[in-house]
Structures are given as structure tokens and as C-alpha cells.
Chains A and B, each alone.
Chain A
Amino acid sequence: MGVEGIGASVVRKEDKRFITGKGRYVDDVKLVGMTHAHFVRSPHAHAKVKSIDTSAAAKMPGVLAVLNGKQLVDDKVGNLICGWAITSKDGSPMKMGAWPAMAPETVRFVGQAVAVVIAETKGQARDAAEAVVVNYEELPAVPDIRAAIKPGAAQLHPEAPGNIVYDWTLGDEAAVTSAFAKAASVVSLDITNNRLIPNAMEPRAALADYDTAEDHYTLYTTSQNPHVARLVLSAFYNIAPEHKLRVIAPDVGGGFGSKIYIYPEEMVALWASKKVGRPVKWTGDRSESFLTDAHGRDHVTKAEMAFDKDHKILALRVKTHANFGAYMSLFSSAVPTYLYATLLSGQYVIPAIHAEVIGVYTNTAPVDAYRGAGRPEASYVLERLMETAARQLKVDPAELRSRNFIRQFPYQTPVIMAYDTGDFVASLEAAKKSIDYAGFAARKAKAKSEGKLRGIGVSCYIEACGIAPSKAVGSLGAGVGLWESAEVRVNPVGTIEVLTGSHSHGQGHETTFAQLIADRLGISIDQVQIVHGDTDKVQFGMGTYGSRSAAVGLTAILKAMEKVEAKAKKIAAHALEASEGDIVIENGEFKVAGTDKKIAFPMVALGAYTAHNLPDGMEPGLKESAFYDPTNFTFPAGAYICEVEVDQNTGKTSFVNFVAADDFGRMINPMIVEGQVHGGLAQGIGQALLEGAVYDGNGQLVTASYMDYTMPRADDLPSFKLSHTVTLCPGNPLGIKGCGEAGAIGASAAVINAITDAIGHNKLEMPATPDRVWHAIHAA
């Protein structure tokens, strides 16, 4: 392994700038002549824009321009797009309503932009925005799924009758119907997956700089995928041709999916920068973040599971309504379909599955991928059903799961996914041991004798990540490929730059990617610089989301390294007058195996660039690139078990213990992997206990600040006990599955299963606030 190689918990290289306050986030960047933008936003959830009077605002101090949606149309700026085409069960395409960056005629969610003020200072822009007079004609708002699908409901988009985006199905309905008819037991559950707001700690921001002399744009953006931003801004929004647009995603303060999309604000900042001939910076307030960042989850599901007399699952039937919000966001269509229904087999052998997903427009913020993106929703359905089944069938919940585990791999599920490898028994056993599952009954009885309610909850999750094989997703409607790119540049003195299409906004790539190089060449990670986040430096990349950076991004680097090493070995062999096949790389040196003839790597590099002694016909230089397209998704899986104590008088839940046993395949840096799990668990627990976006009957977001939306804080969470089992992923050379989303996928069900066990009452919605738990306890 080496002290800095694969598997080493190396302290992070990038930390120095963050702990000394020298991080460079978008709002930190200052350009000469910079102006500031402040958006005028709709206070109504659904309204016609009758007129916009900017005359007073335009005269205020420091104001350069007041711009609106009609001007965007006049300048032929494109509408926002959705990049994944989903077809309804009747063969018709999804019903996409137009989403302009600033609404010229109709606003469809509170916070949607209708105008923007560009001024010398933030304060002046904000003051002038308040002087813009917008005349709205209010329309009836449909604030949630139920209201949206009611006959006679107000229609958001002419393209979508009944506010239906699509009605999509997957699986074998006939087989499911027949299995239910033969079932010994049927378990059914109504499940709401509560709407969440991602809330990365850095609000979104954009700094756009149009160079009038070069007719060239530079955009600093809080993006998880700067190249995708450049592609979308040029090819679809018509802001600038790709070769005249540089996109830089510098340090970004968290994303969790919310910073994948290319939002109205960066489009408008770029367009406005050309109009005023100066750089334009927009930095969101936290309230703008709440109102306009893509929200997550928001499913309403009816699920049923059929069992035979031996408690083996015969079939699963799921019907889900998914809230899209007012417009289809970039990735939104895929989240409740190909990232959700395809995981409905879970860790279990389920002979027949059928899922129907109905996408619905509502007058709320657009909904898209948020950490887990579809897989938390699937896992929650399955794990709540299994727990409910265990109680109904009077079987131990862990035992019921184990009886139904898939034990033979590879395993083809009835819902497209083919699991390559895994050992679900090992994770469950590890988790049970870690929490002393066997001793729980005694702990519960002791607590009861002291007047306390104790519960234990299991959650066995599997997910599909390492997104994704391009041909496969293309055949399912994706507009892009999901490969990754890498370029390894060896400098003449032997230091190395690795240019990656992945982007790090907390994941530690500057360290973990360097560890691969250190491992292969036996050099220090200090000799390796990871470059990411700038479209001028890095050839095209697809970015970071879907737990793909190690499985896909790092594999691309490995492929490029193989090419570098092959060429370097040729150079070394020629210099040492040996055969290429006899060259081995050890501790930073290229050696002739079995001899003491060697040449240090920096000398090999120098040889490549001086080109005095290269093999005939070899090009000088030592730089190789690779584009890696995965052949399958990867399938991290594991078992989480949670033990809680519920106070009957207050309904408050306290954690006694929370254990996680995950299988991520190969882990490059276990310390960083565990950090990812901690963060994911916090978000899954947050969903279960604390968080929930609430719109009132008029479509007003009631939870629009940290006063009302409960973010998990340090004293809401326990310390976690993590362990790992390993089945190496056969899909990539390093055996990596990925780990970024697992915690957010599996944790919620463990918490709700534990609380419902404690209170002896199965019906409980997320978030399980003290108020809800108290009422559940005291319900008749």
C-alpha cells in the first residue's frame, strides 16, 4: 500500500487553504470593474406578469441596467432544458413546459425571477430592485401533488394536460398480478418521501465576465460540472459558442446535486455582462437558495409486497406520484424513473416487480437529484415494507431480510439492474454484531422498567452508482454520455499534473487521485498536482455526482497512467539497454528486474523531453489522456442499524447507537470514505427526524430560512460506528464501487423503523418530529 498509496488514510492536501481562510469560492473572486446583480422575484406561486415598470429603478444611484424576460426572448436566449427523454407507457414523450430564465409572461413558483438590476454595488442593486414595480394577475396555485391532479385543477403548462409530466411504468404487471393472487400474505403501506432542500453551506453564485475586445465570456460558477455548464450554456441557451466561453468552478462549498444544474442566474449574469460591458456578479442570499435551488425527493407512494407461506417475497407492486415542481429541471425526469424503479429489488430475490411513476407539475420550486437521487426513495419504500412485513408476519426483521437476500452473483433483477457482486449476509452480520443486536431485547426490557421506550431499526440498502455506461443510459433516453476523462502530464523534471473531468467540492480528489499515482509510481503525493474545475485547462468532463468520481473518474486516470507507464518503460528500457518486458517500477525508479540497473523517474521524464535518446520513431514528451466509459453501474450495499430511545412525554428521539456496515469495494482513502458516510448519514437522519420543505395552500414556501427549516446540528446527531466488508467491484480495475451517497440512501428507514419499534405504532411520517411522535404514541 505505501504510506501514501491506495488504502492509506492520508491527511488531505487541499486542507491548507481551507483552514487558513484562503479558499477561493466564487463570491471571493473580485474582478476590476465588477458590478452586482440582484433579481426581482415573484411573490406569487402562479401569476401572469401584466407589466414591469423599471423607470424608477433605472434612475437610482449606481444602476447600470434593469433587464427583463422579454429582452431575453428578443436576444434569442434559449429556455432551460431537461436532458433525459422519458416516454410514457402509452408511447408519448414527456410533456415539457417552457422554462425561461426570467419569466416574460407567467410565473409558476414563488421566487421565480422576472427582472434583474445591475448596479455598482450590492446595496444599490438591492435598493433598486425594490423600486421595480411588477403588476401581477394572480392565478390559482396548485401547491402539491394532490391539488395538481384533481380534476379541474389550474393547469401550469399548455403542453401538460392534467399537470401530468409522464405516466411511466417498468416491470411485468401480469406476473405481479398473478403472484399477488397466489400470495399467502400481503403487506401494504402508504409512504411519503418528504420534500427536502439541499442547503449546501455555500449559496449559489455566478460571476460573469464578457471581454468586449475578444468577444469572449468567462464564467465563475458554483458548479459540480463546469464542462456540462459550458455545453448547455452554448448549445442550448445560445449564450456563447463553446470555444468563446470559459467556465471555472473554483472552490465550491458543497453541492449534493443542487449545483449540477445550469440555473437562470448564471445564464442571466453572462447575458447581462455583455449588455453592460462589465463583469456581473450574483451571489444568492440563503432565502434565494431556499426558494430557487432544486429541491429533492417529494414522492407519494402506495406499495404492496406479496409473500408466500415461508415468508419469501413473491412480488412487489409500487405506484408513485413524483413532484416535479413548476418546471422540469436538467436531470429531473430520470430521478423517479431510471434511478428509482430500477432499485426496487433491493437486496432481495423478488421474482416479479411492477412500478408505475406519475410525474406531476405543481407551483413549487423545480425538483431534481439530491444526494441519492431516486435511490433513497426506493430504499425507503423497501425497508419500511420489510419492517412492516416482519411485524405483520411476526418474524424478526433481520431474519426476514436474510431469508430473502440475494446470495448468488451476478444477479439479474426484474428491473433492468444486474448486480455484479455483493455479500449482503456479511454486512448484516457485521452490523448486528456491532450494535449487539442479540442483546437488544434485554436493553428494551430494562428501559421499559425505567419508563423509557427503546426501539431498534434495520435498513439494508443497495444502490446503483458509478454513473454510468453511456450506451445503456443513451438507450434509456439520456442526452449525454456518462464516461469520464483524464489527462496525465509528466513534466520534464518528473512532477506530474493530472487533469480530471471530475470536480471536487468536498470529496478530497486532490488527495485521493494523487494517491493512485503515488501507489503506481512509488513517488510522493507532493509530486502530483490534481487539476480540475476549469474548461480552459481540462479537456471535456462530465463532473461529480452519482458517486462516480472514484469508480469512473479515477479509472480514467488509471487508463491514462497505463499509457504513461508503457511509454516510460519503453524509454527506460532503451536507456538501460534492456527489454521493455523486464522493466518494473518501484519506489519512483524504473529497474531492470533482477538487476541493480535502474533509472529514476525524473530522469525518464527528462529523457522524454530532451529526446536525445529515445527509441526510433517515438514522439518526444510524456503525456497521455484517456476517456473511460464504465461497462455497468456499481452497486455499493450495506446494513445500517439504529437504536433509539423515545421520551413518551415529549416525543423526542435520542440516539443510543447508530452502526453502519458498508461494502464499497476498494477504498482509496478510508478516512475520506468514512467522512462521506458520516455526511450522508447526517442527511438521511435529517430527512427522518428534522427536515421537510413546506408550502402552504397558496404555494408560499413556509420553510424558507434556518428559522423554519431544521438543519441537523451537532447535538442532533450521534457519533457513528462504521465498519466495512469488501467485495471488489469486477467492473473496474481497482474494484471501486463508490461511497458518496450511501449514508443518505440507507439511514432514513433505519431511524423510522427504530422509532416505530419503540412506540409500537407503525404509521409515522418523516420528519418524525417530537410533535408527530407524541401524537402517534398517544393516538387511541
Chain B
Amino acid sequence: MSTVKLTVNGKAVSVDVEDRTLLVHVLRDQLDLTGTHVGCDTSQCGACVVHIDGRAVKSCTVLAGQASGSSVTTIEGIAKGDELHPMQAAFRDNHGLQCGFCTPGMIMTSIDMVHRHGGKLDEATVRHELEGNICRCTGYHNIVKSVLDAASRMKVAQAAE
């Protein structure tokens, strides 16, 4: 057992965990942040993606102890009060989700994708970058539309700042 201290969605937290505890289970079971999901046991499906210190990471592949001292952002932390993040709004407006289970991971991965590409994305790049996120419902067609739509919204927002 160890005590792990980290920041989650801007709040300092301290949790006592067995050493084998994964970050995703700390989020879901101890912090009641159940928006991050577990979809597989081989680190491939991407339903567990969060941001650690600003970068997309699969939280099923990180021990809680490894996240000690870092700043974690989950799907619950990206809206500003009632104002949705442009990526969230884009998924809704483009019907980029059906059952919703892969959606938090898709959104977190895609936000990171847009940041890394400076908002310049095309269909082929988006599809390639989504290789670590599996969806069974949408066939990805509208997810790609959502990400490209969000990229242009985020560019506009950035230019306006």
C-alpha cells in the first residue's frame, strides 16, 4: 500500500492504494470519476485515455504510483462549467457517438491530436491517429467528421484569443 498524491481536474487529491492499482481504477473507484472507461485488457481500445501533464495517455497502462505528482485531466474536466469543449460539441453536432462507451477516450485522444498537429489535420491523418481508439458502433465516419470540425473550431478559438 502507498499514498499517492496527484492533481485531478485541477483538484489536489491523496489516495491510499495497493501498489498494483492502475490509474484508471483510482479514477473510477476511488475518485468516482467514472467517465473514463475500461474496454480491454491489452491497452488497445483507448476507452481509458486521459491527459497526464497535457498529453494523451492510456490510464489502464499507468500504475497509480507512476502518476504521483502529475496533473491528470479526465473527460469530466474539459468543459468550462456549462460551456462544452469544442471537441465535445463537435461530437454531438456531427453524431460522432452512439452508445457513448468509447466516446470519452475518443474525445481526449482527439483533443491531444489537434494540439499536436497545430489544428492542421486531414482525413487520412485523423484516421491514422485514431489507431489506438476502437469504436464498434459508428464505423468512424462521423468521428472523423467530428474531429475535423473540432479542429477548425479550436483554430478559430485560438485565433480569437
- A and B found bound together: yes
Using CB atoms and an 8 Å cutoff, list the residues of chain A in contact with chain B: 11-12, 14-23, 25, 27-28, 30, 123, 198-203, 251-254, 256, 283, 285-287, 505-508, 671-672, 674-675, 678-683, 705-707, 711-715, 717, 719-720, 743
CB pair A682–B140 under 8 Å, yes or no, is yes
| A-B contacts, 22 listed (Cβ < 8 Å) | A18-B97, A18-B103, A19-B100, A19-B104, A19-B107, A21-B34, A21-B76, A21-B104, A23-B35, A25-B37, A123-B20, A201-B134, A201-B137, A253-B39, A254-B98, A286-B41, A506-B137, A678-B140, A679-B139, A706-B40, A707-B44, A713-B140
Measured between beta carbons, the chain A residues less than 8 angstroms from B102 are: 201, 253
Nearest chain A CB to B140's CB is how many angstroms away?
4
Q: Which residues of A contact B74 (CB under 8 A)?
A: 21
Contact (A19, B127) CB under 8 Å given A201-B47, A675-B95, A705-B42: no
Give Cα distance in the complex from A285 to B25, angstroms: 14
Partner of A719, one of B101, B130, B141: B141
Which residues of chain B come closer than 8 Å to A679, judged between CB atoms? 98, 136-139
B residues near A678, Cβ cutoff 8 Å: 138-142
In the complex, whether B117 has a CB less than 8 A from a CB of chain A is no
Is there an interface contact between A715 and B131, defined as CB atoms closer than 8 Å?
Answer: yes
Contact indicator per residue, chain B 57-96, by CB within 8 Å of chain A (1) or not (0): 0000000000000000011100100001000100111010
Complexed CA–CA distance, A92 and B135 (Å): 44
C-alpha gap A11/B45 in the complex (Å): 26
Residues of B within 8 A of A717 (CB): 127, 139-141
**Out of A20, A254, A674, A707, which one reaches B136, CB within 8 Å?**
A254
> Is B16 on the interface with A (CB-CB < 8 A)?
no
Q: Which residues of A contact B140 (CB under 8 A)?
A: 678, 682, 712-714, 717
The interface residues of chain B, by DSSP majority, are classed as loop
Tell me which residues across on chain A come within 8 A of B35, comparing CB atoms: 20-23
B144 and A719 contact, CB distance less than 8 A: yes
In the complex, which of the residues A22, A202, A508, A743 has the most CB atoms of chain B within 10 Å of its own CB atom? Answer: A202
Q: Is B52 interfacial (CB-CB < 8 Å)?
A: no
Q: How far is the CA of A548 from the CA of B99 in the complex (A)?
A: 17
Among A19, A27, A672, A705, chain B packs the most CB atoms within 10 A around the CB of A19
Top 7 closest A-B pairs, CB basis? Answer: A21-B35, A253-B101, A18-B100, A682-B139, A506-B99, A678-B139, A506-B98
Chain A residues in 8 Å Cβ range of B133: 713-714
Whether B143 is near chain A, meaning CB under 8 Å from some CB there, is: yes
Bound together, the chains give a CA A2 to CA B41 distance in angstroms of 46
Would you call B18 an interface residue if the criterion is a C-beta within 8 Å of the partner chain's C-beta atoms? Answer: yes
Most buried by B among A18, A28, A30: A18
Q: Are A713 and B130 in contact (CB under 8 A)?
A: yes
Interface string of B10-35 (1 = CB under 8 A from A): 00000000101000000010001111
B84 touches A19 (CB 8 A): yes
CA distance A521 to B25 in the complex (A): 47
Interface residue ranges, B against A (CB under 8 Å): 18, 20, 28, 32-42, 44-45, 47, 74-76, 79, 84, 88, 91-93, 95, 97-104, 107, 123-124, 126-128, 130-131, 133-144
Q: Which of B75, B101, B126, B143 contacts A201 (CB 8 A)?
A: B101
A681 to B131, CA, bound (A): 18
Q: Complex formed: what's the CA distance from A316 to B79 in Å? A: 59
Q: Is A201 in contact with B41, judged by CB distance below 8 angstroms?
A: no
- Inter-subunit contact A15/B92 (CB<8 Å): yes
Given contacts A20-B75, A27-B38, A675-B95, 19 further A-B contacts (CB under 8 A): A19-B100, A19-B107, A20-B79, A201-B135, A202-B37, A202-B39, A254-B137, A674-B95, A679-B98, A679-B137, A679-B138, A681-B139, A682-B140, A683-B136, A714-B131, A714-B135, A714-B143, A717-B139, A719-B123
B109 nearest CB across to chain A (Å): 11
A251–B123 CA distance with the chains assembled, in angstroms: 31
Q: Which of B32, B42, B79, B101 contacts A202 (CB 8 A)?
A: B101
In angstroms, Cα B101 to Cα A14, docked, is 13
Given the complex, which residues of B lie within 8 Å of A714, measured CB to CB?
A: 126-128, 130-131, 133, 135, 140, 143-144
Point out the residues of chain A lying under 8 angstroms from B98, CB to CB.
Answer: 254, 506-508, 675, 679
Structural contact, B100 and A506, CB atoms closer than 8 A? yes
| A671 & B99 in contact (Cβ 8 Å cutoff) | no
Distance (whole angstroms) from the CB of A262 to the closest CB of chain B: 20
How far does the Cβ of A36 sit from chain B's closest Cβ, in whole Å? 10
Known: A711-B134, A711-B136. A20 touches B76 (CB 8 A): yes
| Residue among A15, A199, A251 having the largest count of chain B Cβ atoms under 10 Å | A15
> Is A286 in contact with B39, judged by CB distance below 8 angstroms?
yes
CB distance from B36 to the nearest CB of A (A): 7
B135 to chain A, nearest CB (A): 7
Q: Which residues of B contact A286 (CB under 8 A)?
A: 39-42, 45
A283, chain B: closest CB distance, angstroms: 8
From B28, B74, B99, residue with most partner A Cβ within 10 Å: B99
- The answer to whether B136 and A256 touch across the interface, beta carbons within 8 angstroms, is yes
CB distance from B108 to the nearest CB of A (A): 10
In angstroms, Cα B20 to Cα A286, docked, is 19
Q: Is the CB of A707 within 8 A of B42?
A: yes
A664 CA / B75 CA spacing, docked (Å): 36
Q: A321 → chain B, closest Cβ, in Å?
A: 28
Q: How far is the CA of A683 from the CA of B140 in the complex (A)?
A: 11
Residues from chain A with Cβ under 8 Å of B91 in the complex:
15, 19
Chain A nearest Cβ from B139, distance in angstroms: 3
Across-interface contacts of A203 in B (CB, < 8 A): 38-39
Select which of B79, B99, B124 is within 8 A of A505 by beta carbon.
Answer: B99
CA distance A706 to B32 in the complex (A): 27
CB <8 Å contact, A251 and B100? yes
Give the CA-CA distance A71 to B131 in the complex, in Å: 46
Could you say which residues of chain A place their CB within 8 Å of the CB of B40? Answer: 286, 705-706
A645 to chain B, nearest CB (A): 15
CB-based contact A201/B92 at 8 Å? no
Minimum CB–CB distance from A638 to chain B (whole Å) comes to 16
Bound Cα distance A45, B67 (Å): 41
Q: Are B141 and A706 in contact (CB under 8 A)?
A: no
CB proximity of A16 to chain B, nearest CB, Å = 8
Pick the contact of B36: A21, A201, A707 (CB < 8 A).
Answer: A21
CB distance from A140 to the nearest CB of B (A): 30
Contact of B88 among A20, A198, A680 (CB under 8 A): A20
| Chain A residues within an 8 Å CB radius of B95 | 11-12, 671-672, 674-675
CB-defined contacts of A199 to chain B, threshold 8 Å: 136
Q: Are B44 and A706 in contact (CB under 8 A)?
A: yes
Closest to B145 in A: A719
Cα A711 to Cα B107 in complex, Å, equals: 20
In the assembled complex, the CB of A649 is this many whole angstroms from the nearest CB of chain B, namely: 21
Residues of B within 8 A of A672 (CB): 95
- Expressed in whole angstroms, the Cα–Cα distance for A413 and B127 within the complex equals 43
Which residues of chain B are within 8 angstroms of A705 by Cβ–Cβ distance? 40-42
Chain A residues whose CB sits within 8 angstroms of the CB of B104 once the complex forms: 19, 21
Q: Which residue of B lies closest to A676 (CB)?
A: B98
Residues of A contacting B103 in the complex (Cβ-Cβ under 8 angstroms): 18-19
Q: Which residues of chain A have C-beta atoms less than 8 A from B36's C-beta?
A: 21
Interface centre among B32, B42, B95 (most CB of A within 10 A): B95
Residues in B whose Cβ lies below 8 Å from that of A706: 40, 42, 44-45, 134
Q: Min CB distance, A740 to chain B, in Å?
A: 11
Residues in chain B near residue A21, CB distance under 8 A: 33-36, 74-76, 104
CB proximity of A454 to chain B, nearest CB, Å: 20
Beta-carbon contact of B107 and A201 below 8 Å: no
| Residues B101 and A25 in contact, CB atoms below 8 Å apart | yes
Q: Which residues of B contact A713 (CB under 8 A)?
A: 130-131, 133-134, 140
Q: CB-nearest residue of chain A relative to B87?
A: A19
Chain B residues within 8 Å of A12, by CB = 92, 95
| A20 to B139 alpha-carbon distance, docked (Å) | 21
Give the distance in Å from the alpha carbon of A201 to the alpha carbon of B142 in the complex.
17
The answer to whether B143 and A253 touch across the interface, beta carbons within 8 angstroms, is no
Q: How far is the CA of A14 from the CA of B91 in the complex (A)?
A: 12
Task: Give the distance to chain A from B41, nearest Cβ to Cβ, in Å.
Answer: 5
Query: Which residues on the A side are within 8 Å of B47 (C-beta)?
Result: 201
B residues in contact with A283, CB < 8 Å: 38
